Amino acid sequence: MALIDFFSFLRRPKVRFEGACARCGTCCKNVVLVDGGKPVQTVEHFEKLVRRKPEYRRFVPRHEYMREGFLYVSCEMLADDNTCIDYENRPRICRDYPSAAMLRHGGKLLPGCAFKVVPKRPFSEVLAREMDKQAG
């Protein structure tokens, strides 16, 4: 595998997630939305996104909304017990959480999250396979 192909391979996370939701609500209070493959970074961009995708009306920018170059929003559908009061109608970003796509866009699991990111195969195995291809 050429060096450039190898780096491209590394950008496509080959991971799975282990664990289960602990219902702490942290992920619902610290949402980063993606639009057109790029994270939403401003309130203006968020407002345009909501006009195009009304299902995102449930999110509101946080008071301390900018961190790490991302606009953080919170979901208004979070009950006091950290369950979703509109679970059946939740948007895809919520249904798919956590996802490898989240990692590709620079996201990460939040501190205290009960999920863990686990490689599908150990890196040493992937590297050995690629080296065997180069040699053969």
pLDDT digits 0-9 by tens, 95-114 = 999 988 777 777 788 888 89
In sign, the C-alpha dihedral spanning 95, 101, 106, 109 is: positive
pLDDT digits (tens, 9 = 90+) for 11-38: 555 778 899 989 899 999 989 888 988 8
Cα within 13 Å of Cα(96), Cβ side = 10
Q: Which two tokens stand for residue 62?
A: 């946080």
Predicted confidence (pLDDT) at residue 66 exceeds the cutoff of 70: no
Give the pLDDT of residue 1. Answer: 44
Give the pLDDT of residue 4. Answer: 47
Residue 13: name the closest of 133, 113, 117 by CA.
117
Give the pLDDT mean for 78-90: 94
- Report the C-alpha gap between 60 and 107 in whole angstroms: 19
Radius of gyration of the chain (CA): 18
Name the pLDDT band for 48 (thresholds 50, 70, 90): very high
Helices (H), 1-136: 3-11, 26-29, 43-52, 92-95, 100-104, 123-135
